[in-house]
Amino acid sequence: MIRRRWHWHPVTATLVAAALLTMDLAFFGANAVNILEGGWFPLAVALASMLLMTTWSRGWQIQMERVQENILPLDALLDSLEVEGPVRVRGTGVFLTGPATDVPPRRDSQQVCVAFF
C-alpha cells in the first residue's frame, strides 16, 4: 500500500516497514511470556472478532453477487409494463437501489408490482 497508493520509493517503504516490524516484534517478545498466564484471552477474543468480521464480509460479497445477478434493467421493466400493464396494489412501496438504470431485485417470487394512488 505504501508504494502503490502513497507512491513512496521502494527503499523508503522498506526502511519504514522494517522499523515498524522491529518495534512490533519487540513488544510481542516482551509480552509473549504472559500468554500462558491469561494473555491468551485477549488473543482468543481478537481471533473470534476477526473470524466474525471476515465471515460477515465474505457473506456480504456473496449476497451482493447474487443481487447483481437478479437485477432487471429499467428498459426491460418498462417494456413489460407496456405489454402487461402495471399491477395495482394498495399502499406504498419503497425500493432502494443503487444505479438509476436498474430495477431493484424482487424479494419474493411474485411479479414486480407498481403502486399508484
Q: Which three cell numbers stand for residue 82?
A: 407496456
Task: Tell me the backbone φ, ψ of residue 37, rounded to 5 degrees.
Answer: -100, 30
- Residue 9 vs residues 6, 15, 72, 92, 101: alpha-carbon distances, Å: 9, 10, 47, 57, 43
How many beta carbons lie within 10 A of that of residue 26, not counting itself?
10
Higher-pLDDT residue of 60 and 98 is 60
* pLDDT at residue number 112: 46
| 66-92 residue pLDDT tens | 878 877 788 888 888 888 887 777 877
Extents of the domains making up the chain: 1-69, 71-117
Inter-residue contact 75 to 99 (CB < 8 Å): no
Higher-pLDDT residue of 53 and 3 is 53
% of the chain surpassing 70 pLDDT: 83
Mean pLDDT, rounded, of the chain? 82
First to last CA, the chain: 53
Distance between CA atoms of 63 and 60, rounded to whole angstroms?
5
Model confidence band, residue 97 (pLDDT cutoffs 50, 70, 90): low
Distance between CA atoms of 88 and 114, rounded to whole angstroms?
6
Model confidence band, residue 18 (pLDDT cutoffs 50, 70, 90): very high
Q: What angle do CA 23, 3, 14 make, to 5 degrees?
A: 35
* pLDDT at residue number 58: 96
- Residue 7 vs residues 18, 20, 83: alpha-carbon distances, Å: 18, 19, 56
% of the chain surpassing 90 pLDDT: 37
